[in-house]
């Protein structure tokens, strides 16, 4: 009986590990629905507050919406958020964004951003990558350009980043060094 009890305990522990691992990957959770709801709200806010972004979106091959990025630092810093890639208005993949930094910094902030993939090649490169890192060559659109960005921007820029909704105590938000990874929410 002692051997049966041990086997039962081991089997139960193994099943618990599998269930816990499954929950950690989002299997059986409402993570996707939660991200989609946040992305919908972010998209509505973006289009109503910065009307030029709607025209820009109509010309984009795909858009990665990151509704809430939380960044904090005290010499060492980091940022994290989750969002969705939409092509022609439909969610096709979910992504996390992470960033680590070191330097003279103190504080915390939250912000949202959207990456407009203006060419099919840029979108394909992003989707094929194991972990796409935002580079310094991104074309940044400022909220001040929000009303005219759709008219003023040409397809020469393969990826256009629009950072908005900043709140907090760290000055500025840059996407340089941010790594995007496909996730299962």
Q: Is residue 2 part of a domain?
A: no
Q: Is residue 18 part of a domain?
A: no
What pLDDT, on a 0 to 100 scale, did the predictor assign at position 22?
Answer: 38
Q: Is residue 24 part of a domain?
A: no
Domain of residue 52 covers: 29-183
Q: Is residue 153 part of a domain?
A: yes
What pLDDT, on a 0 to 100 scale, did the predictor assign at position 77?
Answer: 85
CA distance 129 to 119: 16
Q: Is residue 6 part of a domain?
A: no
3-state SS assignment for residue 151 = helix
Given a contact cutoff of 8 angstroms between Cβ atoms, the answer to whether 63 and 116 are in contact is yes
Q: Is residue 72 part of a domain?
A: yes
3-state SS assignment for residue 47 = helix
Domains held by the chain: number: 1
How would you classify the pairing of strands 179-183 and 90-117? antiparallel
What pLDDT, on a 0 to 100 scale, did the predictor assign at position 101?
Answer: 79
Q: Is residue 13 part of a domain?
A: no
What pLDDT, on a 0 to 100 scale, did the predictor assign at position 35?
Answer: 97
What pLDDT, on a 0 to 100 scale, did the predictor assign at position 61?
Answer: 97
What is the full per-residue pLDDT of the chain (185 aa) written as tens digits? Answer: 455 544 443 333 333 333 333 334 445 568 999 999 999 999 999 999 998 899 999 999 999 999 999 998 888 889 999 999 999 999 999 999 998 877 777 889 898 999 999 999 999 999 998 888 776 556 777 666 545 455 454 546 899 999 888 887 665 555 667 899 999 98
Q: Which residues contact 35 (CB under 8 A, 6 or more apart)?
A: 67, 82, 83, 84, 94, 185
Q: Is residue 8 part of a domain?
A: no
């Amino acid at each position: 009986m002692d051997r049966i009890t041990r086997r039962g305990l081991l089997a139960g522990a193994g099943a618990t590990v599998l269930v816990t691992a499954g929950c950690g990957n989002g299997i059986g959770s409402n993570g996707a629905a939660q991200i989609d709801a946040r992305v919908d709200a972010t998209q509505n806010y973006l289009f109503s507050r910065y009307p030029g972004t709607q025209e820009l979106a109509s010309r984009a091959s795909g858009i990665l919406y990151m509704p809430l990025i939380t960044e904090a630092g005290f010499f060492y810093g980091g940022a994290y958020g989750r969002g969705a890639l939409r092509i022609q208005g439909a969610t096709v993949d979910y992504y996390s964004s992470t960033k680590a930094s070191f330097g003279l910094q103190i504080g915390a902030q939250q912000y949202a951003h959207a990456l407009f993939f203006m060419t099919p090649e840029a979108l394909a490169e992003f989707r094929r990558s194991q972990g796409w890192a935002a580079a310094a060559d991104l074309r940044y659109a400022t909220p001040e350009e929000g009303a005219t960005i759709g008219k003023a921007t040409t397809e020469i820029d393969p990826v256009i980043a629009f950072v908005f909704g900043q709140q907090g105590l760290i000055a500025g938000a840059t996407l340089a060094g941010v790594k995007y990874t496909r996730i299962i929410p």
